[in-house]
Amino acid sequence: MRFGVISQDEKVKSWLETQIEIFGGAISDDPDIIIIFGSDRDFLEALHRIKGKLVLPIGNSGPSFFSEIGVDEVHQAIKKVVSGDYILEEAMRLSIEVDGNLMPPALNEVAIFPSKSAVPMEYVLEVDGDELFRDYSDGIIIATPTGSTAYSMSAGGPVVIKNADVILIVPVNSIDPGRRPIVAPGESLISIRDIGSRYECEAIVDGIERVKVRSDVKVRKGDSIRIIRFERKILSKGKITRKKKVTEEILKLPPSAKLILKVIEYEGPLSRKEIIERTLLPERTVRYAISQLLRRGLISRSLDPRNPRQQVYARR
Would you say 120 and 114 are in contact if contact means Cβ atoms under 8 Å apart?
A: yes
What span, in angstroms and rounded, lies between the C-alpha atoms of 216 and 208?
Answer: 19
Which member of 9, 29, 30, 40 is catalytic?
40
Burial of 235 (0-12, 13-18, 19+ CB in 10 A): middle
> In whole angstroms, how far apart are CA 25 and each of 36, 67, 69, 70?
16, 21, 19, 20
CA distances from residue 156 to 84, 138, 148, 267 in whole angstroms, order as listed: 39, 13, 10, 21
Q: Is 82 helix (H, G, I), strand (E, B) or coil?
A: helix
* Identity at 159, one-letter amino acid code: V
Give the number of C-alpha atoms closer than 13 A to the C-alpha of residue 5, restricted to the C-beta side: 23
Per-residue CA distances from 12 to 15, 36, 41, 74, 144 (Å): 5, 11, 17, 11, 31
216 is annotated as an active-site residue: no
Q: Is 198 helix (H, G, I), strand (E, B) or coil?
A: coil
- Which residue numbers are catalytic? 40
